[in-house]
């Protein structure tokens, strides 16, 4: 299929698929007129790249994952999963803090023990 159809299936603009090809994380075949042709398998690969990008995995890391042996791939993905877990903890704490500040009765945030607790969490969390 052509790049526009592949991009629609993946949920990204066509220029993103071109960029990923330029970066070496996708390798669509070429037609006789040198147009990109994506197979079903290549669209699935693009979907995986898209999900990894949404999760914050960088292009260089994705490029490293593709040819990696199973153990190295597992190591890289485990490190990314750990990073996401830490990020989720920080995001949840920030959401709790924002909700608290919205209803906090202290005139100055620094006077509130819960607000100070959040500041401490950020330094150590």
Structure-token pair, residue 117: 């607790």
Please state the domain count of the chain.
2
Report pTM. 0.67
On whether both 52 and 76 belong to a single domain, the answer is no
Picking from 47, 67, 87, the residue at the C-terminal end of a domain is: 67
Give the tens place of pLDDT for each residue, 80-121: 889 889 989 988 988 988 888 888 888 777 788 887 777 676
pLDDT band at 66 (very low <50, low <70, confident <90, very high): confident
| CA 46/CA 52 separation, integer angstroms | 10
Q: Domain of 110?
A: 69-125
Give the tens place of pLDDT for each residue, 46-55: 999 999 899 8
């Amino acid at each position: 299929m052509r790049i526009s159809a592949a991009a629609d299936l993946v949920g990204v603009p066509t220029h993103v698929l071109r960029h990923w090809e330029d970066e070496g994380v996708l390798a669509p075949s070429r037609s006789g007129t040198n147009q990109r042709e994506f197979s079903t398998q290549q669209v699935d690969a693009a979907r995986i790249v898209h999900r990894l990008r949404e999760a914050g995995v960088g292009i260089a890391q994705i490029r490293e994952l593709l040819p990696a042996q199973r153990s190295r791939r597992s190591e890289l993905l485990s490190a990314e999963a750990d990073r996401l877990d830490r990020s989720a903890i920080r995001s949840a704490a920030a959401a709790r803090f924002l909700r608290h500040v919205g209803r906090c009765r202290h005139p100055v945030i620094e006077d509130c023990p819960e607000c100070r607790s959040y500041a401490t969490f950020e330094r150590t969390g």
